[in-house]
């Protein structure tokens, strides 16, 4: 099943990519190939790779997936957790410059730890505060400028 | 003779206090990264690249190489004590190492893996020292067509060996090449596939992609595992980290054989440390007089694979330094570091910057000695890292990734691009598509297209140039063979088995 989805996605990407290649404006002087030739080759290669995957899936079809890998009731909770972490990380990046590195990072870390390292409040608070402040100071010394944001220092 | 002078001068470079210090920092961080499951040398090196921007390139590269080979030492500790490989390449060490630990021989397992790593790691660096110069003189004969076919071989080899499904690995390779075409075309000045996003005009930053694909994706995956509630038990290290005379005698030959296997596999593109370790394990089991002990705590099953995955790192440096073409994921990231410093690894580097090349190679002798000390008497300190709660560690890796990406250009959009690669890497892992081929083609893609076009310009648009020299023909044949092999081998085996059955 998964392999069929990958096959479909690969074909779709190849199609979009080949279409986008036709949109590249090109004046072919001095360079017999121009900016389109290599990409065209890649589009074809992706189609070939998708074809190989199709052959692989075709050969496997008789065996079928073992039943153990297909639990009757699928548990999707862990996938929601990952999606939430992705969204929370995007929110962190959005606040990265507005709030400043130290504040945004401390809040971001604390929330992650509160979920994934539950119950150890003291350790979580201390780690998130200390890490944010110390890493800021360290990178300041290494001439890496992290956003200052709303804090005065 | 001149080479000998360069080698000796390399020691003068790497013995400078500043470089000794960075060798130490590198191997120390490497051991830490190796011990910690969930973060590997590729991610570690990529996260360090932005931070080392202002450093002297020799010191920075010495440090990054230290992370690369140091992680192989640390990876075994985790494999032995919690039955989870700290690095993918220590997966075989877990089989017998963990069984030894359960029987109370954790100290012996740790000792032999450190010793095997040291002996084979040093053998590997000797091999690197010997083979580097002859290979560079071969590489000097390479024109654009030869380089193109060489990169083609590197990619096809990685595709056919990187995962269970060669087709999926090939998809990963081609997608990486496609991503590398994003941005302004160097020859015609035309923007390609930028979708109107100005940040994409310079292309997708390699380091951003690597941080996303390795560090961020791995955090997502680990967080998911944590939600499922898998928590391994840590075996406490008791007694001294040493082994008996008999255990040493049993390990000696496996270490030597593993060292040779690892170096050869390392030099060849595609396979890498994990396959080197598997081959060594299978070989030792076949040679052993008591194969039934394998999987039950046979010390040969720790010594061989640990030797193999360490000499592999030195072997992997051979094509990177002499040809300028990495053969796997971690060396691809190293290549990204070279490029960031404006240094093109390859044969010319041996002529123009012998101090840098030999300083780097010679530092690996010193680094291996430091690693032996870190991993034998001081291993107890590193074991404590395993007690850091995963929730804290994963959160910190996310914050460090953000610093790493932001430090490159101070650009917010790049953070989101990194996050997108993190999601991509996570999805790839879930559907069993390997990411190493993509990383390799991301770093080689631009060069590959350039050499393709240069070759075609030389030949006036005639593709026959790619079979125009012996080197080209050999490399093209090797590429075709490595694509075809995974499809032919099962048939050949089935055919032979069929033939054998008919006879019987």
**Residue whose C-alpha is closest to residue B71's, from B316, B282, B238:** B316
- B234 by Cβ neighbours in 10 Å (0-12 / 13-18 / 19+) ranks as middle
Among left, alpha and beta (phi > 0; psi -120 to 50; other), residue B196 is: left
| Average pLDDT across chain B, whole number | 88
Flag the least confident range among A72-86, B146-160, B333-347. Answer: A72-86
CA distance to partner chain A, nearest, from residue B455 (Å): 11
DSSP, residue by residue, B329-345: HHHHHHHHHHHHTT---
Strand residue runs (E) in B209-360: none
Chains A, B: CB contacts under 8 A, how many? 175
Interface contact A96-B407, CB threshold 8 A:
no
Residue B345 in tokens: 């690894």
Output the pLDDT for position B459: 87
Between B165 and B402, where is the model more confident? B402
In this predicted structure, what is the pLDDT of residue B366?
Answer: 95
pLDDT at residue B236 is higher than 90: no
Q: Which of B168, B389, B412 sits opposite A53 (nearest CB)?
A: B168
Q: Which residues from chain B sit within 8 angstroms of residue A108, using beta carbons?
A: 395, 398-399
Q: Worst-scoring range by mean pLDDT, A54-68, B43-57, B476-490?
A: A54-68
B246 in Cβ contact with B299 (< 8 Å): no
When CB atoms are compared, the residue of A25, A93, A131 closest to B416 is A93
Rounded to an integer, the average pLDDT of B3-30 is 92
Contacts of B456 in chain A (CB under 8 A): 32-33, 37
User: CA B69 to CA B137: how far, in whole Å?
Assistant: 26
What phi, psi does A145 have (nearest 5°)? -90, 115
Q: What is the DSSP string of B171-211?
A: HHHHHHHHHHT-EE-TTT--EES-TT-GGGTT---HHHHHI
Gap from B493 CA to chain A (nearest CA, Å): 16
Note the pLDDT tens digit of each residue in B242-256: 888 888 888 899 999
Residues from chain A that touch B220, judged by Cβ atoms under 8 A, are: 82, 85-86
Contact B82, B386 (CB under 8 A): yes
Facing residue for B399 by CB, picked from A115, A117, A131: A131
Closest chain B C-alpha to A25 CA, distance in angstroms: 7
How confident is the model over B182-235, as pLDDT tens digits? 988 877 778 888 887 887 888 888 889 999 998 999 899 988 888 876 666 777
Residue B270, pLDDT score? 76
Are B385 and B361 within 8 A, CB to CB?
A: no
For range B70-86, the mean pLDDT: 88
pLDDT of amino acid B201: 84
Say if A127 is an interface residue toward chain B (CB within 8 Å). yes
Contact B160, B482 (CB under 8 A): yes
Residues 69-98 of chain A with CB under 8 A from chain B are 77-79, 81-82, 85-86, 89-90, 92-93, 96-97
- pLDDT confidence of residue A72: 44
| pLDDT for A69 beyond 60 | no
- Please report which confidence band the pLDDT of residue A74 belongs to, taking 50, 70 and 90 as the band edges: low
List of chain A residues whose C-beta atoms are within 8 Å of the C-beta of residue B389: 117, 120, 123
**pLDDT band at A68; cut points 50, 70, 90:** very low
- Binning pLDDT at 50, 70 and 90, where does residue A152 land? low
Cα–Cα distance measured from residue B465 to residue B445, given in angstroms and rounded to the nearest whole number: 20
For residues B111-118, average pLDDT: 93
Question: How many angstroms separate the CA atoms of B419 and B424, rounded?
Answer: 9
pLDDT at A153 over 70: no
pLDDT band at A67 (very low <50, low <70, confident <90, very high): very low
**CB within 8 Å: B188 and A96:** no
Average pLDDT over residues A62-78: 57
Mean pLDDT value of segment B128-150: 90
pTM of the shown model: 0.88
Q: Band of the pLDDT at B137, cuts 50, 70, 90?
A: confident
Nearest CA distance, B395 vs chain A (angstrom): 6
Q: Over range B62-66, report the average pLDDT.
A: 94
Of B412, B398, B405, B432, the closest CA to residue B218 belongs to: B398
Q: How far is B413 from chain A (nearest CA, A)?
A: 9
The predicted pLDDT at position B68 comes to 93
Residue with tokens 């110390």: A134
How confident is the model over B306-321, as pLDDT tens digits?
A: 999 999 999 999 999 9
Chain A, nearest residue to B411 by Cα: A97
| Shortest distance, CA B185 to any CA of chain A (angstroms) | 6
Q: Which two tokens stand for residue B445?
A: 């893609």
**Among B33-42, B114-123, B300-309, B484-493, which is the least confidently predicted range?**
B484-493
B183-184 vs B191-192, strand pairing mode: antiparallel
Question: Any chain B CB within 8 A of the CB of A65?
Answer: no
Quote the pLDDT of residue B502. Answer: 65
User: What pLDDT shows up at residue A44?
Assistant: 93
Q: How many CA atoms lie less than 13 Å away from A64 in the CB half-sphere? A: 4
Nearest CA in chain B to A80: B224
């Amino acid at each position: 099943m998964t392999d069929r989805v990958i096959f479909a996605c690969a074909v779709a990407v190849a199609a979009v990519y080949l279409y986008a290649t036709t949109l590249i404006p090109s004046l072919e002087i001095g360079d017999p190939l121009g900016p389109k030739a290599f990409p065209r080759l890649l589009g074809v290669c992706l189609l070939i790779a998708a074809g190989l995957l199709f052959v692989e899936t075709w050969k496997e079809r008789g065996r079928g997936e073992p039943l153990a890998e297909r639990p009757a009731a699928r548990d999707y909770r862990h996938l929601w957790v990952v999606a939430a972490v992705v969204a929370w990380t995007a929110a962190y990046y959005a606040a990265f410059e507005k709030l400043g590195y130290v504040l945004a990072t401390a809040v971001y870390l604390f929330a992650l730890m509160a979920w994934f390292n539950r119950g150890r409040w003291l350790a979580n608070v201390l780690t998130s505060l200390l890490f944010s402040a110390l890493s800021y100071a360290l990178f300041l010394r290494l001439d890496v400028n992290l956003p200052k944001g709303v804090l005065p220092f | 003779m001149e080479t000998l002078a360069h080698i000796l001068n390399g020691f003068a470079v790497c013995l400078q206090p500043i470089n000794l210090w960075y060798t130490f920092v590198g191997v120390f961080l490497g051991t830490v990264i190796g011990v910690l499951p969930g973060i590997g040398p590729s991610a570690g090196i990529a996260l360090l690249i932005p931070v080392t921007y202002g450093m002297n390139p020799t010191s920075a590269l010495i440090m990054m190489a230290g992370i690369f080979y140091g992680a192989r030492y640390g990876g075994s500790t985790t494999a032995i004590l919690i039955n989870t490989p700290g690095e993918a390449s220590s997966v075989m060490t877990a089989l017998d190492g963990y069984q030894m630990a359960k029987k109370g021989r954790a100290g012996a397992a740790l000792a032999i893996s450190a010793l095997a790593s040291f002996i084979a790691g040093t053998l590997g660096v000797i091999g690197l020292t010997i083979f580097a110069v002859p290979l560079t003189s071969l590489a000097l004969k390479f024109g654009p067509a030869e380089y193109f076919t060489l990169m083609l071989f590197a990619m096809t080899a990685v595709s056919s060996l990187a995962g269970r499904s060669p087709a999926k690995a090939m998809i990963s390779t081609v997608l990486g090449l496609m991503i590398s075409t994003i941005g302004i075309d160097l020859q015609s000045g035309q923007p390609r596939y930028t979708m109107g996003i100005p940040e994409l005009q310079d292309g997708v930053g390699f380091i951003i992609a690597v941080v996303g694909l390795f560090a961020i994706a791995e955090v997502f995956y680990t967080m998911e595992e944590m939600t499922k509630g898998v928590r391994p038990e840590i075996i406490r290290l008791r007694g001294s980290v040493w082994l008996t005379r008999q255990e040493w005698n049993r390990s000696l030959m496996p270490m030597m054989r593993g060292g040779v296997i690892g170096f050869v596999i390392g030099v060849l593109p595609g396979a890498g440390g994990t396959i080197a370790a598997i081959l060594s394990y299978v070989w030792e089991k076949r040679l052993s007089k008591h194969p039934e002990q394998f999987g039950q705590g046979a010390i040969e099953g720790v010594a061989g694979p640990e030797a193999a995955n360490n000499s592999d790192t030195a072997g992997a440096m051979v094509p990177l330094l002499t040809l300028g073409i990495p053969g796997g994921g971690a060396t691809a990231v190293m290549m990204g570091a070279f490029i960031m410093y404006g240094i093109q690894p390859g044969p010319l580097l041996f002529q123009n910057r012998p101090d840098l090349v030999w300083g780097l190679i010679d530092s690996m002798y010193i680094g291996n000695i430091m690693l032996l000390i870190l991993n034998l008497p001081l291993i107890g300190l590193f074991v404590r890292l395993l007690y850091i709660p995963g929730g804290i560690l994963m959160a910190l890796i996310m914050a460090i990734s953000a610093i790493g990406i932001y430090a490159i250009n101070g650009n917010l959009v790049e953070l989101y691009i990194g996050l997108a690669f993190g999601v991509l890497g996570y999805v790839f892992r879930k559907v069993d598509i390997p990411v190493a081929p993509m990383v390799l083609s991301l770093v080689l893609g631009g060069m590959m297209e350039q050499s393709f076009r240069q070759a075609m310009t030389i030949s006036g648009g005639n593709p026959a140039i790619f079979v125009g020299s012996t080197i080209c023909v050999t490399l093209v044949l090797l590429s075709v063979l490595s694509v075809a092999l995974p499809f032919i081998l099962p048939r050949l085996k089935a055919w032979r088995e069929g033939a054998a059955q008919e006879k019987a």
